[in-house]
Amino acid sequence: MTLIKQIAIFLGLWLLGELISYYSHLPLSGSIIGMLLLVIALELKLIKKKDVKDVSNFLLNNMAMFFIPAGVGLMCHYRVLKLEWLPISVAIIVSAILVLTVVGLIMKKRS
């Protein structure tokens, strides 16, 4: 029963996030709004930490796995990837390195 309750809390936050996203026209996805709602609800003690703990840990520990179905979709873009692999891979790799460097060094330098 506790697991069902915890899952219901998550789905409820998600639904609320989707509704807010839909009606507010904010450029934010329902899940990101749901995340912010969870922080606010925990801070205001509307939701107790123990009421989301187990499911949170389960979801956080397995997050990577939930991406697999989307990742398999790579197979549909064989043609574009073959044609433009050079600009795509250079752009992705260099840009990722730049972001890591900029954020990492700003945080490190000023702390």
What does residue 48 show for φ and ψ, rounded to 5 degrees? -85, 145
Q: Which of 1, 4, 50, 71 binds another protein (CB under 8 A)?
A: 71
The answer to whether 93 contacts another protein (rule: CB under 8 A) is yes
The single residue listed with the structure tokens 């309750």 is 5
Q: Which is nearer to another protein, 1 or 63 (CB)?
A: 63
Q: Quote the CA–CA distance of 41 and 47 in Å, as a whole number.
A: 6
Instruction: List Cβ neighbours of 3 (8 Å cut-off, separation of 6 or more).
Output: 54, 55
Instruction: Enumerate binding residues for another protein (CB under 8 A).
Output: 10-11, 13-14, 17, 27-32, 34-39, 42-43, 49, 52-53, 55-56, 59-77, 80-81, 84, 86-88, 90-108, 110-111
